[in-house]
A and B are shown apart, each in its own frame.
Chain A
Amino acid sequence: MDWLNLIVFPILRTVVLFLVLLTGFAYLTWFERKLLARFHVRYGPNRAGKFGLLQPVADAVKAMFKEEIVPSHVDKPIYLVAPALALIPALIIWAVIPVAKDTPAIADVGIGFLWILAVAGLESYGLILAGWSSNNNYSLLGALRSSAQMISYELPLGLFLVSILILAGSFSLVELVDNPRAWWEWLWLWVAFPFFFICILAETNRSPFDLPETENELVAGYQTEYGGIKFSLFYMAEYINMITTSAIMATLFFGGWRGPFAEEIVWLGPVYLFIKVVVLLFLFVWVRASISRPRYDQLMRFGWKFLLPVGIVYMAITAVLAVLLK
Chain B
Amino acid sequence: MPIEIPIPTVTQVIFLVMALFTAACGLMVVISRNLFHSALFLVGALFGVAAIFVLLEAEFLAVGQVLVYIGAIATLIVFAIMLTRGMMRGRTSPMNHVSGRGALGALVFFVALLAFLKKVPWPEQAQAIPVDESLIAGLGDKFVTTYVVAFEAVGLLLMVALIGAVMLARDR
Contact = CB atoms under 8 A, between A and B. Distances in A.
Indicate, yes or no, whether A interacts with B: yes
Given A111-B59, A121-B71, A128 B78 contact: yes
B71 A118 contact: yes
Contact of A111 (B43, B60, B78): B60
Nearest to A154: B71
Contact of B75 (A114, A132, A140, A147): A147
Interface of B: 36, 40, 43, 59-60, 63-64, 66-67, 70-72, 75, 78-79, 82, 136
A1 B136 CA distance: 31
Nearest to B63: A114
Given A110-B59, A121-B66, A132 B82 contact: yes
Contacts of B75: 121, 124-125, 128, 147, 151
Interface residues of A, number: 25
Contact of B66 (A75, A118, A140, A144): A118
* Pairs A-B, 7 closest by C-beta atoms: A121-B71, A118-B66, A118-B67, A114-B63, A118-B63, A111-B63, A117-B67
Contacts of A63: none
Given A78-B40, A128-B75, A140 B82 contact: yes
Contacts of B63: 111, 114-115, 118
B70 A122 contact: yes
Given A128-B78, A151-B75, A121 B70 contact: yes
Contacts of A132: 36, 78, 82
A114 B62 CA distance: 10
A147 B79 contact: yes
A114 B70 contact: no
B162 to A, nearest CB: 12
